[in-house]
Amino acid sequence: MNNLKSGILIGIALCYATGYAQTGNLTSSPYSLFGLGKQNEVGSGKTNALGKSGIALGSETEINSLNPASLATIPKNAVFFDIGIKNENSRYVGSRDEKSNNISNFSNISMALAFDEKSGIGFSLFPYTNVGYNIAAVSGTVEGTSDLYTSNVIGSGGLNNFQLNYGRKITARLNLGARVNYYFGKINEVETVDVQGDNLIIDEDHRYKGIQFSLGGQYKLADNLGLGLLVNLPTSLSASKEQTVSSVIGGLESEIETSEQSNMDSFRIPAEIGIGAKYTYKAFTFNADYKVGFWKGTNEEDTSIGKFTNQQFLGGGVEYFRGGRNFLDRTRFRMGGNYDTGFMSVQGSKIKNVALTAGIGLPLGIRGNTLLNLSYSYGQRGQVSNTLIRENYHLISINLSLEEIWFAKRLFD
């Protein structure tokens, strides 16, 4: 019966998140204007509190969605679920003014289980990018006249990533894994142009979809030392556009033009390589990751804003876990940090991000690996200049990590 309840729970959550993720705003960051939007910063389980790092970590007690090779470490008959929500409070500081915003939404849904004694399989659904910008009061003169206009542009939506993962033990020390990423979603942009009280409204829907393949590996150098590798292969997302143009004159709205869905140039996602390491000393587990995304090689352009540049990420964290029977010994304490150069350069300045993280894993029940994972991040993105702002944010994520035992025979009824 518990298995049926868990299946129903994860199914309902998956259907809700799939429908909502395509339409809801998951960010209010003006930096979501770049490319396909601001990249998602929240994953599953404990990695949120470990500086968003964990390529070398296993999935012995909960899902590690950063490396498919980790699924080879899921215990026999174990089934893990991970459902998360997040809340982000951001403050934007510019050269002239400041403002703040607060947004809550789902962050991930994941399930993984041991396929046999040597392998594990699973799926995850995450927001891949988030879009939620508002460019207000851009003014100018109508070409050929002396009339002034004001333009406001609002962007929303984003892309989702549905992952299928498989990991297998090759030897006692080596695990290999593969992942299929399916990206899909819509970005909506509405521009309202005001000319002496009359409005022209241009509403565009940009839809993207495509598949990317990833490979992962983990190697145990010693009982307390391991390495990890992740390679995301380059791919292109097919794109299409629908546009509606309407006007509001004298308070009356009328449709001027509606175009059917038409193809756009594909958007290229670059190759990415990441390496990680973990080291265990008594009750402490240390880990660190380094990743580079080769955005410069995609030849993507956005000349009106900036240029794409290679993205580098460095993150790390430490977990303290004693293990035992009492509540405090079974509680997991975590902290970490990361530095991200971003993938866009504006007037020679990269949109960098720096964050500190901390969290705790609270055990639910007296046995097993069911946890309530709480994590907090404080970060800064960008800088104050004539064209850029600094974004200070507080990010809280809550993940319910469930473990169940399936396919095991009962000794007693």
What rounded mean pLDDT belongs to the chain? 86
CA distance from start to end of the chain: 14
pLDDT band at 144 (very low <50, low <70, confident <90, very high): low
Q: Is this prediction's pTM over 0.85?
A: yes
Residue 44: name the closest of 9, 70, 25 by CA.
70
* pLDDT tens track for 292-334: 999 988 877 766 677 889 999 999 999 999 988 889 999 999 9
pLDDT at 19 over 70: no
Q: Which residue has the tokens 């960098």?
A: 352
pLDDT at 12 over 50: no
Q: Which pLDDT value is given to residue 150? A: 82
pLDDT at 59 over 90: yes
Homologous superfamily (CATH) for 2-197+204-235+267-405: Outer membrane protein transport protein (OMPP1/FadL/TodX) (2.40.160.60)
* pLDDT tens track for 230-277: 999 999 999 999 988 888 887 777 777 777 778 888 999 999 999 999
pLDDT at 5 over 50: no
User: How far is 33 from 131, CA to CA, in rounded Å?
Assistant: 7
Residue 379: name the closest of 127, 55, 51 by CA.
51
